[in-house]
A and B are shown apart, each in its own frame.
Chain A
Amino acid sequence: MTDKIDIKNVAKLAALKLNEDEQQQLEKDLSMIIEHFAALSEMDLPDDKISIHPLGMSLNLAEDIASKSLTHEEALRNAPDSKDGQFVVPPSLD
């Protein structure tokens, strides 16, 4: 597999606008890190017992019961822009 990273595409996926200098620097830095991963990616490892939880536990989900939480006003207080109790964003299309 290729270790060449398409930095423009990855930045697009990550919703990050990068200038030319950043693109060059990050491409270099990330390529170096990815090269370091080669030994791991070539290891022959069994694929049983994979768990996202480090102790292999299942998640303890809360009961689906309404409880006291942030008020509408509190939830909007940190919003960069809001109007009539709603978040305001620019249009989705030009």
Chain B
Amino acid sequence: MENHKLSISKINKLFKDKELKPSELYDEVFERAASTESIIHGHLTLFQEENIQKALESNTRYEKGEHLGPLDGIPIAIKDNINISGHVTSCSSKMLANYVSPYDATVITKLKKEGVLFTGKTNLDEFAMGSSTENSAFGPTKNPWDPSRVPGGSSGGSAAVVSAGSAIASLGSDTGGSIRQPASFCGVVGFKPTYGTVSRYGLIAFASSLDQIGPITNNVEDAKLIFNSISGHDPKDATSLIATKTEQPNLNKAKIGIIKELMEDGISEDAKEEVYKVAKLMEAEGHEIVEVSLPLTKMSISIYYLIAPAECSANLSRFDGVRYGARVSGNTSSEMMELTRAEGFGPEVKKRILLGTYALSAGYYDAYYGQALKARAMMKKEFTDIYKQVDYVISPTTPSDPFKFGEKSDNQLEMYMSDLCTIPANLVGMPAISIPTGLSSQGLPLSVQIMSPANTDNTLLDFSQTLQSLVSFIDKPILNRTEK
């Protein structure tokens, strides 16, 4: 059966019509996991045994017509930096290898209320710092389209398991593109909501002013369903937004801006072609396509790599060997902390902590961190002005198709550049979605990213559904093509 590639609404209909049981889908998904996990290593832990009873309970609810909602009985994977009570939340770090969450993240509480069945926790770059999962302390995840290539990161495990069919959907977190870039590399949909629409309570913090939880799915419709299930104001997160009325962009006869600066040097011809292809399709539907200039997007990498490490150096100071996580013995408290952090953190995390500490230190604060905050405010103004002229802006999601393992690990700046197109949405706080649109000349997935003003998430998702139906991306990864 191929139920694992159906949309959630179709699965839900099969459940309601009693043509498929949640426990049968559950078994199918774990059969997929059994045949794919040894190749892709997308899950760090699988919850198969403990959820059998819950799948049977879901069966009963459908039999009685008492199901909890469209997500009841749907197997969803969770990135391993989101707390699920009673389970390890490792952040793919030796520091938290044995940390058992004492509480549920708000998104988990919401999904549990809807009867979601969690498949397990998925791999990531350590503490969500990276673009390839090569920084995981527990080994990398492989791309289901070509296991010699990276799945992207940091939510590489969450994207790979949806692509491989060992989960119907997943949750990731996105600080500079960590949902959208791996979604693009794995040929699935990735959505980063407006900052503050989804509670960050229970998400292990990397950079608090940029982090946002969002869905990775097979299609836009599923992303909308999950987004609406996990969003909403949460008093436990001080940055959580209280819904306000916001003017929405046009759905019909929309004006779409192609970002000039994200179609220049450093972007592959294949990636540019996808944007032009989509633009033509939209134009044929009656939408207007224009070129827009957002000059500060060229500074995104510098702004991001000052703000994110500064926030990370503060957030990760909590890992000191005292209250939770690993500890290495020392003669004094300070020696114990220094040794614990030296042993518990991997090279990329150490690098970013040091970079952030440097940027915040006396004598450098104004020139670096302060300057990055000013540039961030200016970038926000640039986008606000552009949205007075256009409804949406589009760009490639990634500068290229998925790269090979080791290809960029020796060149840190080149690795950082792979987030060039996705970072602006985090800096500005606006929603952004990555939609697979075609294949590169190497037969690997490429995507287009659409962005819209803050608090227009559902309109962006509706608009993206139109785009998705126009491109009708139906290619499958190698793992799915070769199955019997």
Contacts and interface: CB of A to CB of B under 8 A. Distances in A.
Interface of A: 1, 5, 7, 10-11, 13-18, 22, 25-26, 29-30, 32-34, 36-37, 39-41, 43, 45-57, 59-62, 70, 74-75, 77-81, 87, 89-94
A17 B428 CA distance: 35
Nearest to A11: B354
Contacts of B44: none
Given A14-B354, A45-B375, A91 B338 contact: no
Interface of A: prevailing SS: loop
Interface string B234-250: 01101111100000000
| Chain B CB within 10 A, most for which of A32, A43, A94 | A43
Nearest to A45: B374
Contacts of B388: none
B341 A17 contact: yes
Given A70-B103, A74-B102, A77-B102, A15 B323 contact: no
Interface of B: 98-100, 102-103, 194-196, 209-210, 233, 235-236, 238-242, 299, 301-303, 305-306, 313, 317, 320-327, 329-339, 341-342, 345, 347, 350-351, 353-355, 357-358, 361, 364, 367-368, 370-378, 380-381, 412-413, 426-429, 454
A54 B427 contact: yes
Given A17-B339, A47-B374, A89 B322 contact: yes
A33 B413 contact: yes
Given A10-B358, A14-B353, A33-B355, 16 more contacts: A5-B358, A10-B361, A15-B337, A16-B342, A16-B345, A17-B342, A36-B413, A46-B378, A47-B374, A50-B373, A54-B429, A62-B236, A75-B323, A80-B321, A90-B329, A92-B334
A40 to B, nearest CB: 4
A16 B355 CA distance: 12
B377 A49 contact: yes
Which 5 interchain pairs have the tightest Cβ spacing?
A: A54-B429, A80-B327, A78-B324, A17-B338, A45-B374
Given A30-B351, A37-B368, A93 B320 contact: no
B88 to A, nearest CB: 10
Contacts of A1: 364, 367
Contacts of B98: 78
Contact of B306 (A37, A47, A51): A37
A80 B354 CA distance: 25
Given A16-B350, A62-B236, A50 B377 contact: yes
A91 B332 contact: yes
Nearest to A93: B332
A59 B321 CA distance: 30
B372 to A, nearest CB: 7
A49 B102 CA distance: 39
A90 B331 contact: yes
A45 B351 CA distance: 28
Contacts of B332: 90-94
Contacts of B326: 80
A92 B177 CA distance: 41
Nearest to B101: A78
B368 to A, nearest CB: 6
B375 A32 contact: no
Contacts of A54: 195, 209-210, 376, 380, 426-429
B226 to A, nearest CB: 22
B371 A41 contact: yes
B345 A15 contact: no
A89 B333 contact: yes
A79 B375 contact: no
18 contacts: A14-B353, A15-B320, A30-B351, A32-B412, A37-B302, A43-B299, A45-B371, A51-B373, A54-B380, A55-B429, A56-B380, A59-B238, A59-B239, A61-B238, A62-B238, A79-B323, A91-B332, A92-B334
Contacts of A25: 347
B357 A14 contact: yes
A35 B4 CA distance: 48
A26 B367 contact: no
Contacts of B323: 75, 78-79, 87
A54 B430 CA distance: 9
Contacts of B322: 79-80, 87, 89
Given A17-B338, A70-B102, A89-B333, A60 B235 contact: yes
B150 to A, nearest CB: 20
Given A81-B327, A90-B329, A94-B332, A60 B353 contact: no
A90 B335 contact: yes
Contacts of A87: 322-323
Contacts of B351: 26, 29-30
A15 B377 contact: no
